[in-house]
């Protein structure tokens, strides 16, 4: 039995878990290709027009897998933490896919909803496993094994290995050399880790000799504690992690700049990005850059903003070190 | 022979070329329409700028900026290739004492740059939407049958500006048409449009930013006195439009080229003769992998002189190898 896992949305957070789980049960797992122009084009053509870029990309991945597999893995991810939701589009994803794309193979669209409690965890796991086997013992041990893989993956990211396109980079993105700039790259993981969708922002920053800090590299529990101090509870899970990261960074200040990558039309970011930007500006003087992405493939706009941002940081640093500001020969009289 | 520096800003709407002498004096400047043909525009700009100076000149350094900066750099042999924000910032710092805020509206871009203690401390550019930039104004002027040069003057004549929706260019246009049909006169509609663009600019880019004086307004749209007036009304303070406001990006390039020259004392400038070269551009889609990159190949007099657009660097790198073999 072939199960296709599309390389989009929850993929970047959870795929080692799902892949190991189904492989341990004896199914063959097929991943869609990393996002490319064709996938983006197909996705954009076959998605409701008001969807955000990552949702369009996911549709492209499903089309990529459509003719290769027996089942496509599109779980209905409602909630993974108590009292929180992920995103309204995640909740309705199986329907969106079903009515937008023709000839979709049967979907594994089990509901993941721990909004009330986690008590139903094992029932959910069995439901996922029963697509392959009815043997609950087998499912138990497959889940235990998958969980191990998943924890390793999380640990590797925490150690600085970026999962670009879901594949862990060989080296940590922390160079460790003194004097290098570190920039926090914030945004929804499925946008940042998608090399094509994010316009190669990670590679571009690396080429500009920047160390990259991602929210996933910080202790999630601590980030959640930070966002719990907000006046009103943040009930979007991605938003909670990002907000916590911003609060942590604004307090600790051991960072040279923050770049927030958002997709055009993201409902959660319309609040969260705004809150984060205000918080960064009112509680720190850390440079902040917002990059909004959509279906563009012309990269000049992103390059200009990134280059100018790095220039600005370099310039500021020189100034702080009481060295001459940019080009003393120009500015000094 | 006079030493000088060359700055080229290839933007979406205009291509600007400036020659600056060693004392930062502007010897010649050209503002020409890009019209979607950046290569022609750069050649035309170079030719015109050269013809404006009668004496012999020696170009000691070249800088390029704007969205076509890499193309221009390849053509002329640039020493410095910089983004527009840094270029505009450096130009303003040098020409306006103590400048703290730069408002810049170009053809497709608008930006706000905050400077503190002579360095850029914050900036913002318009997001995916180009509402309220020069090309939109151009379009509206054409639709109303008014030369864009007279647009600002007409706005100043307005007695009772109408309110136009400014959030989106499409909304603004339909709102303008509806107001026209009600019988409002053109002056009031144009002033209303200026107010709407300024409101949109300050809401989107100025959001949460401390806009302190002296404020400089530059870029092509700074020539529009109507927009300048609307900015002054909205911010409640005088706004300075520098004499060379339309070519500030190119001036920033000259300044950076001068600094590069002081450090390195060499230039890659290929000479003004390149205006006689024939340039051809070929584009093809590489199908060697699923990325399907749109690769651009630039030929100078039949010889491939640059390639870009490939993500993997294969075409780019292949060219370097070929050139090395030839050398």
Q: What is the dihedral of CA A125, A128, A133, A136, to 10 degrees?
A: 10
pLDDT over 70 at A328, yes or no: no
Give the pLDDT confidence score for residue B131 in this predicted structure. 63
How close does chain A come to B152, measured CA to CA in Å?
29
How close does chain B come to A248, measured CA to CA in Å?
21
Residue A330: band (very low, low, confident or very high) from pLDDT cuts 50, 70, 90: very low
**Residues on B contacting A at a C-beta cutoff of 8 Å:** 67, 82-86, 90, 93-94, 117-125, 127-128, 208, 255-256, 258-259, 262, 289-294, 311
Q: Which of A196, A292, A316 sits opposite B128 (nearest CB)?
A: A292
Q: What is the value of pTM for the model shown?
A: 0.82
Give the pLDDT confidence score for residue A56 in this predicted structure. 93
Mean pLDDT, rounded, for B226-251: 92
Choosing among 3.90.1150.10, 3.40.50.11890, 3.90.550.10, 3.40.50.2000, the CATH entry for A2-157 is 3.40.50.11890
Measured between beta carbons, the chain A residues lying within 8 angstroms of B124 are 290
Evaluate whether A308 touches B123 at the Cβ level (below 8 Å). yes
Write the pLDDT tens digit of every residue in A85-110. 888 888 889 999 999 998 899 999 99
pLDDT over 80 at A327, yes or no: no
Rounded Cα gap, residues B58 and B61, in angstroms: 9
How close does chain B come to A157, measured CA to CA in Å?
25
Q: Three-class SS of residue B221? A: helix
pLDDT over 70 at A331, yes or no: no
Evaluate whether A318 touches B93 at the Cβ level (below 8 Å). no
Which of A10, A150, A31 is closest to A87 using CA atoms? A10
Write the pLDDT tens digit of every residue in B56-101. 889 999 999 998 898 898 888 889 999 999 999 999 988 888 899 9
Q: Where in chain A is the domain with CATH 3.40.50.11890?
A: 2-157
Give the pLDDT confidence score for residue A320 in this predicted structure. 62
Measured between beta carbons, the chain A residues lying within 8 angstroms of B34 are none
Q: Where in chain A is the domain with CATH 3.40.50.11900?
A: 173-320
The answer to whether the CB atoms of B67 and A196 lie below 8 A apart is no
A270 touches chain B (CB under 8 A): no
Residue A324: band (very low, low, confident or very high) from pLDDT cuts 50, 70, 90: very low
Q: How many CB atoms lie within 10 A of CB B23?
A: 5
Write the pLDDT tens digit of every residue in B279-322. 888 888 888 877 778 888 888 888 887 787 777 777 876 666 55
Mean pLDDT, rounded, for A122-151: 92
CATH class of the structural domain A173-320: alpha beta
How close does chain B come to A263, measured CA to CA in Å?
10
Q: Which of A290, A300, A308 sits opposite B67 (nearest CB)?
A: A300
Question: Are β-strands B101-105 and B80-81 bridged in parallel, bridged antiparallel, or unpaired?
Answer: unpaired
Domains in chain B, please, with CATH? Answer: 2-88+249-276 (3.30.420.40), 97-241 (3.30.420.40), 279-326 (no CATH)
Which of B65, B85, B9, B88 is closest to B41 using CA atoms? B9
Q: Three-class SS of residue B96? A: coil
The answer to whether the CB atoms of A308 and B86 lie below 8 A apart is yes
The answer to whether the CB atoms of A304 and B255 lie below 8 A apart is no
Write out the two tokens for B139.
């379009």
Measured between beta carbons, the chain A residues lying within 8 angstroms of B95 are none
The answer to whether the CB atoms of A290 and B124 lie below 8 A apart is yes
Write the pLDDT tens digit of every residue in A11-61. 999 999 999 999 999 999 999 999 998 899 999 999 988 889 999 999 999
Those residues with Cβ within 8 angstroms of residue A221's Cβ, 6 or more apart along the chain or in another chain: none
pLDDT over 60 at B28, yes or no: yes
Mean pLDDT, rounded, for A246-271: 89
Task: Give the percent of chain B with pLDDT over 90.
Answer: 30
Write the pLDDT tens digit of every residue in B187-238. 898 898 889 888 888 888 888 888 988 999 998 889 899 999 999 999 999 9
- Cα B61 → chain centroid: 20
Measured between beta carbons, the chain A residues lying within 8 angstroms of B123 are 308-309, 312
Mean pLDDT, rounded, for A71-98: 89
ipTM exceeds 0.90, yes or no: no
Which position has the higher pLDDT, B323 or B252? Answer: B252
């Amino acid at each position: 039995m072939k199960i296709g896992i599309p390389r989009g949305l929850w993929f970047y957070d959870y795929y080692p878990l799902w892949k190991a789980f189904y492989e341990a049960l004896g199914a063959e797992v097929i991943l869609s290709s990393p996002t490319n122009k064709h996938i983006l084009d197909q996705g954009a053509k076959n998605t409701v027009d008001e969807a955000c870029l990552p949702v369009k990309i996911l549709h492209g991945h499903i089309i990529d897998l459509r003719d290769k597999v027996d089942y496509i893995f599109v779980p209905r991810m409602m909630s993974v933490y108590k009292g929180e939701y992920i995103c309204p589009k995640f909740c309705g994803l199986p329907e969106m896919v079903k009515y937008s794309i023709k000839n979709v193979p049967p979907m594994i669209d089990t509901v993941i909803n721990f909004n009330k409690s986690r008590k139903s965890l094992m029932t959910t796991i069995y439901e996922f496993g029963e697509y392959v086997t009815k043997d609950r013992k087998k499912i138990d041990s497959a889940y235990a094994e998958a969980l191990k893989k998943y924890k390793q993956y999380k640990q590797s990211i925490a150690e600085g290995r970026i999962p670009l396109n879901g594949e862990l980079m060989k080296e940590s993105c922390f160079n460790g050399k003194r004097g290098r700039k570190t920039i926090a790259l914030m945004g929804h993981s499925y946008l940042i880790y998608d090399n094509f969708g994010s316009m190669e922002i990670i590679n571009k920053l690396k080429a500009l000799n920047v160390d990259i800090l991602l929210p996933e590299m910080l202790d999630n529990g601590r980030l959640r504690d930070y966002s719990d101090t907000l006046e009103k509870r943040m009930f979007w899970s991605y938003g909670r992690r990002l907000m916590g990261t911003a609060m942590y960074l604004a307090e600790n200040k051991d960072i040279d700049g923050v770049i927030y990558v958002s997709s055009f039309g993201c409902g959660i970011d319309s609040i969260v990005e705004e809150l984060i930007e205000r918080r960064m500006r009112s509680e720190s003087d850390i440079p902040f850059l917002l990059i909004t992405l959509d279906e563009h493939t012309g990269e000049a706009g992103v390059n200009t903003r990134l280059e100018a941002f790095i220039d600005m940081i370099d310039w500021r640093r020189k100034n702080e070190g009481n060295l001459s500001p940019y080009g003393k020969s120009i500015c000094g009289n | 022979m006079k030493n000088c520096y060359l700055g080229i800003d290839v933007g979406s709407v205009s291509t600007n070329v400036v020659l600056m002498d060693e004392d930062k004096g502007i010897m010649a400047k050209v503002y020409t329409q890009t019209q979607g043909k950046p290569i022609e525009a750069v050649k035309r700009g170079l030719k015109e700028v050269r013809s404006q100076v009668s004496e012999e000149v020696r170009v000691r350094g070249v800088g390029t900026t704007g969205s076509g900066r890499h193309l221009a750099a390849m053509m002329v042999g640039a020493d410095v290739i910089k983004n527009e924000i840094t270029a505009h910032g450096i130009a303003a710092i040098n020409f306006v004492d103590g400048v703290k805020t730069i408002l810049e509206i170009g053809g497709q871009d608008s930006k706000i740059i905050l400077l503190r203690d002579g360095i850029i401390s914050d900036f913002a550019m318009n997001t995916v939407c180009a509402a309220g930039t020069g090309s939109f104004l151009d379009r509206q002027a054409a639709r109303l049958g008014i030369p864009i040069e007279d647009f600002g003057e007409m706005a100043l004549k307005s007695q009772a500006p109408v309110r136009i929706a400014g959030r989106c260019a499409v909304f603004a246009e339909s709102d303008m048409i509806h107001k026209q049909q009600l019988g409002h006169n053109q002056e009031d509609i144009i002033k209303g449009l200026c107010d709407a663009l300024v409101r949109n600019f300050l809401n989107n880019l100025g959001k949460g930013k401390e806009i302190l004086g002296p404020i400089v307004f530059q870029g092509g749209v700074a020539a529009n006195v109507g927009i300048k007036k609307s900015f002054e009304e909205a911010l409640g303070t005088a706004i300075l439009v520098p004499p060379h406001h339309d070519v500030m990006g190119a001036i920033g390039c000259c300044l950076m080229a001068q600094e590069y020259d002081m450090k390195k004392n060499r230039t890659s400038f290929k000479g003004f003769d390149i205006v006689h070269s024939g340039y051809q551009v070929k584009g093809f889609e590489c199908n060697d992998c699923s990325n399907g990159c749109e690769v651009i190949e630039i030929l100078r007099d039949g010889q491939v002189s640059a390639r870009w657009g490939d993500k993997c660097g294969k075409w780019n790198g292949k060219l370097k190898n070929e050139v090395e073999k030839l050398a």
